[in-house]
Amino acid sequence: MTPQVQPNAASFGTSFRQVFAFFFFLSRRTGKARVFALLGLIPVALAVVVRMVMPGRAEDVAAVFSQILMVFFLTFYIVIISLFYGTSICAEELEGRTLTYLVTRPLSKAGIFLGKYAAYVALMVLMTAASLGLSFFLMNGQRFRDPGLYLAFLRDAGVLGLGIVVYTALFAFLGTFLRRAILVGLFFGFGWENVIQYFPGSTQKFSVVHYLKSLLPHWSSGGGTLAILLFRLEPTEPAAAVLTLTVLTALFLVLGAWLFRTKEYLFEE
């Protein structure tokens, strides 16, 4: 069995691409993907109910419910899926004892960590976009000719996508060094992130959701149809919000990749 083609030691970029392809394929097969896809059907079902119960009420109802759906997506759906996928980047390899198959290959450890992160983010963005798209256009069915509708959808989808990118980076970072990262993540995602919004002044800037909401005009304007849900948001400038979210993502990913490279992971006996 003489080798015909010598294997190549992958660079970071190659490691990243190969790990991304493998885990993007693998992640679609899991029960977790099915559960979160089903969860994503909740807003779709709600949109169907609203359209059936109030068929005559057009734009005002649609606007209100679209924003309620955004509350669901922004403060629950993207947080929970990012939490479960982000923390599992390391944890599932340790619990399943499959990390061996990755770290004994000619792959850079940073490439493994970031490739898996990117694969999970891609999957989550697709699931969220499908759920948001279906519910959004069901709710706004009467405005198909309005170009503003499509712009609003792209903006909402973009903010949710950015949210997934940031939250997953944070939870992936936690997962590299905490055995029970999911508990810490639950506390952060559903405790800290929600409570801190009620605080006036700059305190609320210590949450990710603050910057995401700052990118949504109907919230950051301080009024609108859902002012009651704004919790006295004192928005950050959109450019500064995007910059902050980008810096946070980069920071968490660099720290996570560095920890994954240097830390030694042992399976529990």
Looking at the Cβ atoms of 34 and 155, the one nearer to another protein is: 34
To the nearest whole angstrom, how small is the minimum distance from the Cβ of residue 2 to another protein?
Answer: 8
Cα angle, residue 155 at apex, residues 152 and 158 outer, rounded to 5°: 145
To the nearest whole angstrom, how small is the minimum distance from the Cβ of residue 37 to another protein?
Answer: 15
Looking at the Cβ atoms of 7 and 201, the one nearer to another protein is: 7
Looking at the Cβ atoms of 34 and 57, the one nearer to another protein is: 34
To the nearest whole angstrom, how small is the minimum distance from the Cβ of residue 22 to another protein?
Answer: 5
Report CA 159 to chain centroid distance, whole Å. Answer: 10
To the nearest whole angstrom, how small is the minimum distance from the Cβ of residue 19 to another protein?
Answer: 8
Give the three-class secondary structure for 31.
Answer: helix
Interacting residue ranges for another protein, rule: CB under 8 A: 1-10, 14-15, 18-19, 21-22, 25-26, 29-30, 96-98, 100-109, 261-262, 264, 266-267
Sign of CA dihedral 194, 251, 116, 105: negative
User: What amino acid is encoded at 263 in this protein?
Assistant: K
Tokens of 147: 């170009």
To the nearest whole angstrom, how small is the minimum distance from the Cβ of residue 62 to another protein?
Answer: 40
Looking at the Cβ atoms of 15 and 236, the one nearer to another protein is: 15
To the nearest whole angstrom, how small is the minimum distance from the Cβ of residue 181 to another protein?
Answer: 20
Tell me the CA distances in angstroms from 155 to 123, 132, 175, 211, one per residue in order.
19, 12, 30, 14
To the nearest whole angstrom, how small is the minimum distance from the Cβ of residue 256 to another protein?
Answer: 16
Looking at the Cβ atoms of 219 and 260, the one nearer to another protein is: 260
Give the three-class secondary structure for 264.
Answer: coil
Of 167, 153, 75, the residue nearest 121 (C-alpha) = 167
Looking at the Cβ atoms of 206 and 265, the one nearer to another protein is: 265
Looking at the Cβ atoms of 33 and 181, the one nearer to another protein is: 33
Tell me the CA distances in angstroms from 174 to 97, 142, 180, 223, 253, one per residue in order.
19, 44, 9, 36, 10
Q: Kindly give, in sequence order, each residue whose CB lies less than 8 Å from that of residue 219, ignoring residues fewer than 6 positions away.
A: 213, 226, 229, 230, 233, 235
Q: Are 215 and 238 in contact (CB under 8 A)?
A: yes
Report CA 65 to chain centroid distance, whole Å. Answer: 22
Looking at the Cβ atoms of 22 and 199, the one nearer to another protein is: 22
Q: How far apart are CA 99 and CA 265, in angstroms?
A: 9
To the nearest whole angstrom, how small is the minimum distance from the Cβ of residue 131 to another protein?
Answer: 23
